[in-house]
Amino acid sequence: MKSVRAFGAFWYDFIVGDDWLVALGIIAALAATYGLSRTSVPAWWVVPVAVGVLLPISLKRAVRKG
């Protein structure tokens, strides 16, 4: 059980990293891109805008945590 937990923790740390909000935000942005690409509205801007929003928020959170 301990090794399974350690295995899970390793992959969480490897993929998600220090801030889960970034990973969740990127998934949401890609899902929104997919949804928007089904319509006639251009969707290429969604992910760059998400990066522009997520990065400052994540940094603020990191600074606040210290």
Partner 1 sequence: MNGGALFIAVFLACTVEAVEATTIVLAAGTARDWRSALTGVAAGLLTLAVIVAALGPALSVIPLRGLRLAVGGLLLVFGLQWIRKAVLRASGHKALHDEEKIFATELAAAQAASAQRRGAVSDWYAFTLSFKGVLLEGLEVAFIALTFGSNQHDIPLAAVAAISAVVVVAAAGFAVRAPLARVPENTLKFIVGIMLAAFGTFWGAEGAGTRWPGSDAALLVLIPAYALLAVTLVVVLRREHEASPPAPAHPITVGSAS
Question: Which residues would be at the binding site for partner 1 (CB under 8 A)?
Answer: 14-19, 22-23, 26-27, 30-31, 33-34, 36-38, 42-44, 46-48, 51-52, 54-56, 58-59, 62-63
Helix (H, G, I), strand (E, B) or coil at 43: coil
Q: Which is nearer to partner 1, 5 or 38 (CB)?
A: 38
Among the listed residues 23, 27, 25, 1, the one whose alpha carbon sits nearest the alpha carbon of residue 12: 23
**The one-letter amino acid at 1:** M
In the complex, what is the shortest distance from the CB of residue 24 to partner 1, in angstroms, rounded to a whole number? 10
In the complex, what is the shortest distance from the CB of residue 3 to partner 1, in angstroms, rounded to a whole number? 15
For 19, phi then psi, to 5°, come to: -135, 110
